[in-house]
Each structure stands twice: as structure tokens, then as C-alpha cells.
């Protein structure tokens, strides 16, 4: 057993966990990150790649929309190497879309998302591959973001400030002494080395695996998990992210990523983030809905398809069976306050787009508990270049 000591252990190497590690290190806190696989191996590396403007949530989930547009602006400044500024359209195709348009525009206005309304003819000039049935297109500051590049940048920055990272090292136990967490045990899958890492605080940043990780400490943090399927097509007939102007539902987004487009997404409830299977109807639905917005999709070849699990969480009083109704906002859970167990904090929910803000609020809590007065600077310093 290799024994180490640090101030804070972060569990989870996705966008949120690596952002937390960076923030801790930049505030002078000794920190270690442990991840069961590689960086961005979960949701952060398998979502549709959209840098959210927040417009998708402007009507039904204004807090999440406000977080997205705020962080969208910051990430463009501190992580340009991870972002392509594609811009985005919300397209109006039917009477139902047109009826939703005023609510959509008002929602964007309330949370500060800049928009411009183009006529159908103007939209087709900008994006000739759009359906000729397009009536209007609303411009929004969407983009595409590479989760892997973002995580790598956060880790490089954290290491420059002295943080340590252990990949392919799953946590096997969260150590407790009475009513306090005091560290973790983990095993390196490659070497077989066993680690005991003592710490003042452990942060659970494992996204869809939040429940499984919390159980290692004897706690229950129930998640409202679902997975979403994406289809990747060869070619890039549109320059912008294309969204359907309607309440969020299955198959209403096309994201240009590299030399391809990603069609998204579905919402299928599951119980276990390690146990789900993409279904044929999902692929058919995504293709059908994409063809409605961009007809040439019907002639394009499928490169691959994949899925990611959303780390959805709602407080007990707000729980619902309808996953589309669950807020995309994030939650910082202080288990000392919630469960009487000190030394453990969970950060869950949110989006890749909001990972920096999620980290800031998490580390604010850690600093308050440790009596450390060190302001967040992650919005000021760019990530290291590739």
C-alpha cells in the first residue's frame, strides 16, 4: 500500500473534475485527482460537442440558460483551442414552431442571450442546405467544443500549480472515521499498485456515477439518469449548429464538429450508467428529424453512432419521472449539512459548458470550510496551449 497525503482529493476526470482540480491548485490548495479510466472518458468525451449559448433552455430552464451564456463567453476567452465559433440557428419550419417563436425570443432576452431574427430567404442565403420550408432562423452564439481538449488543458494548468493526477486508478473505498471522510483507497489498473490517499476533503465529481461513488461512503445520492444517442455523418453541409425552434425534445439539433456533423439527441431513462444499449428506433428518429431541418442528410453516410449519460440531479421535492423536465442546472452538495458526514462534497448536474463555474462554486465551499481566503482566478487565466 502506497500512502499519500494531500489537502483535497477529486474523484472524476471529466470536464467538471479537471476544472475543480485546476481551481484548487490555482488557489494554492494541494490536490490530487483520481480517475477510473482516461480523461473525458465519460459524458465529457461523448456528448454532441455543443458549446451551449443557453438558448435551448431559455424558456423552460432560465437558470441553466443564464449559466450557459455566461460561461460560453468566458470559455471562448480562456479556452479558444477547444472551441470552434460556429454560431447557431434556431429554425422555424411549421405553425407550431412559429407559435413558439415569441416565447423563445422573450426567454433569450430575459437571460441575456443575443439573438437576431432572419427571414427564410436570409437563412437560406446563409445556410443553403436548410429546408426550403424554413420560415425564420434565429441566430444565437452557439459553438462546438472539444471536451478532451478542455480536460487536457485544465489538467496541464493544474499540474503547473503542483497538482497530481492518477488515471486508470479507480477508487475502491472512501475512508471514514466516524462522521467524517478522511480520504480514499484506489488501485492502479495497470501496475496493480494500491494507494491510500489521506485528505481533509474528498470531492465527488463523477457525473452519472455520482450515486455509485457516494455509496462508497455509505451515502445515497439518487440521480435521474438518462442517456442520449448521437449519430455522426460524413460531411458538413452546414456551418452553424442547427436547432429546431421548439421546446426541447428528441432529434432537434445538428452540431458541426470537425469534418462531420453530429445529430442529437434522444432521452431514455436508465438506472445504471454502465448498463444501457442504443436502440434502432433512436437512430431512425434522429435521421428523420435531421432530414426535416437539412434535407441533404438523407443522402449522407453514417460514420458511427454513440451515446452519453446525462448526470441529471434534482432535489427530492422537485423529482419527476420526465427526464426532459429535469433542470440542467448544477448542484453543490455539502454532505456535512445534508447527511451529517463531514469531509465530502458532491458536484453534479450541469453541462460541459458550465464546468468552470461548477468548479468555482465547489472550491468556494471548500475554501470556506478550510478557512482559506483565496479568490477564484480561473476566469482570468487562459488554459495552457496544446
pLDDT at 231: 98
User: Does residue 51 have a pLDDT over 70?
Assistant: yes
Per-residue model confidence as pLDDT tens digits over 238-258:
999 999 999 999 999 999 999
User: Does residue 97 have a pLDDT over 60?
Assistant: yes
Backbone phi and psi for residue 213, each to the nearest 5 degrees, phi listed first: -70, -45
pLDDT at 324: 44
Looking at every residue in the chain, the average pLDDT score rounds to: 95
Q: Inter-axis angle of helices 355-370 and 62-78, to 10 degrees?
A: 90
pLDDT at 329: 83
pLDDT at 316: 65
User: Does residue 38 have a pLDDT over 80?
Assistant: yes
Q: Which residues contact 117 (CB under 8 A, 6 or more apart)?
A: 105, 136, 137, 138, 139
pLDDT at 327: 66
CA 183 to chain centre: 26
User: Does residue 323 have a pLDDT over 60?
Assistant: no
CB 262 within 8 A of CB 47: no
Cell 490555482, residue located: 26
Residue 314: pLDDT band with limits 50, 70, 90: confident
Q: In percent, how much of the chain has pLDDT > 70?
A: 97
pTM above 0.85, yes or no: yes
- Strand order of the β-sheet with 50-51 is 50-51, 143-145, 83-84
Per-residue model confidence as pLDDT tens digits over 273-301:
999 999 999 999 999 999 999 999 999 99
Per-residue model confidence as pLDDT tens digits over 170-203:
999 999 999 999 999 999 999 999 999 999 999 9
* The CA-based dihedral angle spanning residues 253, 122, 257, 156, taken in that order and rounded to the nearest 10 degrees: -100
Residues in the chain: 386
pLDDT at 370: 97
For residue 197, list its beta bridge partners. 4, 184
3-state secondary structure the chain: CEEEECCEEEECCCHHHHHHHHHHHHCCCCEEEECCCCCCCCHHHCCCCEECCCHHHCCCCHHHHHHHHHHHHHHHHHCHHHEECCCEEEEECCHHHHHHHHHHHHHHHHHCCCCEEEEHHHHHHHCCCCCCCCCEEEEECCEEECHHHHHHHHHHHHHHCCCEEECCCCEEEEEEECCEEEEEEEECCCCCCEEEEECCEEEECCHHHHHHHHHCCCCCCCCCCEEEEEEEEECCCCCCEEEECCCCCCCCEEEEECCEEEEECCCEECCCCCCCCCCHHHHHHHHHHHHHHCHHHHHCCEEEEEEEEECCCCCHHHCCCCHHHCCCCEEEEEHHHHHCCECEEEEEECCHHHHHHHHHHHHHHHHHHHCCCCCCCCCCCCCCCC
Q: In percent, how much of the chain has pLDDT > 90?
A: 95
Span 102-108, average pLDDT: 98
Nearest to 205 by CA among 28, 54, 335, 349: 349
pLDDT at 369: 98
Nearest to 92 by CA among 60, 143, 51, 139: 139
pLDDT at 317: 57
Q: Tell me how far apart the alpha carbons of residues 200 and 53 are, in angstroms, rounded to a whole number.
A: 37
Q: Tell me how far apart the alpha carbons of residues 51 and 131 are, in angstroms, rounded to a whole number.
A: 24
Q: What is the CA radius of gyration of the chain?
A: 21
CB 202 within 8 A of CB 184: yes
Angle, CA of 307, 41 and 302, to the nearest 5°: 35
Amino acid at each position: 500500500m502506497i500512502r499519500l497525503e494531500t489537502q483535497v482529493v477529486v474523484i472524476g476526470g471529466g470536464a467538471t473534475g479537471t476544472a475543480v482540480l485546476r481551481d484548487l491548485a490555482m488557489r494554492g490548495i494541494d490536490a490530487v485527482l483520481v480517475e477510473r479510466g482516461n480523461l473525458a472518458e465519460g459524458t465529457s468525451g461523448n456528448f454532441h460537442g455543443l458549446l451551449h449559448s443557453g438558448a435551448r433552455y431559455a424558456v423552460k430552464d432560465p437558470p441553466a440558460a443564464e449559466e450557459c451564456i455566461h460561461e460560453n463567453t468566458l470559455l471562448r476567452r480562456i479556452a479558444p483551442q477547444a472551441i470552434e465559433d460556429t454560431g447557431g440557428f434556431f429554425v422555424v419550419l411549421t405553425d407550431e414552431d412559429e407559435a413558439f417563436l415569441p416565447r423563445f425570443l422573450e426567454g433569450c432576452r430575459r437571460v441575456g442571450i443575443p439573438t437576431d431574427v432572419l427571414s427564410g430567404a436570409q437563412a437560406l442565403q446563409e445556410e443553403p442546405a436548410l429546408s426550403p420550408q424554413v420560415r425564420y432562423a434565429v441566430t444565437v452564439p452557439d459553438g462546438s467544443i472539444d471536451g478532451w481538449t478542455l480536460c487536457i488543458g485544465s489538467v496541464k494548468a493544474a499540474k503547473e500549480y503542483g497538482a497530481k493526477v492518477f488515471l486508470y486508478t479507480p477508487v475502491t473505498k472512501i475512508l471514514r472515521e466516524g462522521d467524517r471522510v478522511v480520504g480514499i483507497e484506489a488501485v492502479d489498473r495497470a501496475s496493480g499498485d494500491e494507494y491510500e490517499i489521506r485528505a481533509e476533503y474528498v470531492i465527488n465529481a463523477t457525473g452519472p456515477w455520482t450515486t455509485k461513488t457516494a455509496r462508497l461512503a455509505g451515502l445515497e445520492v439518487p440521480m435521474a439518469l438518462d442517456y442520449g444517442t448521437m449519430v455522426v455523418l460524413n460531411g458538413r453541409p452546414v456551418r452553424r449548429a442547427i436547432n429546431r425552434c421548439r421546446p426541447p425534445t428528441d432529434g432537434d439539433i445538428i452540431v458541426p464538429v470537425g469534418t462531420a456533423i453530429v445529430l442529437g439527441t434522444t432521452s431514455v431513462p436508465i438506472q445504471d450508467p454502465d448498463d444501457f444499449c442504443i436502440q434502432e428506433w433512436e437512430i431512425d428518429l434522429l435521421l428523420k428529424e435531421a432530414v426535416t431541418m437539412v434535407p441533404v442528410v438523407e443522402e449522407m453516410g453514417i460514420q458511427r453512432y454513440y451515446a452519453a449519460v446525462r448526470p441529471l440531479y434534482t432535489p427530492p421535492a422537485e423529482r419527476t419521472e420526465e427526464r426532459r423536465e429535469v433542470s440542467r442546472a448544477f448542484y453543490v452538495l455539502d454532505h456535512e449539512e445534508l447527511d451529517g458526514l463531514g469531509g465530502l462534497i458532491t458536484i453534479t448536474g450541469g453541462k460541459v459548458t458550465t464546468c468552470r463555474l461548477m468548479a468555482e462554486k465547489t472550491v468556494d465551499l471548500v475554501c470556506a470550510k478550510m478557512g482559506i481566503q483565496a479568490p477564484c482566478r480561473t476566469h482570468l487565466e487562459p488554459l495552457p496551449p496544446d
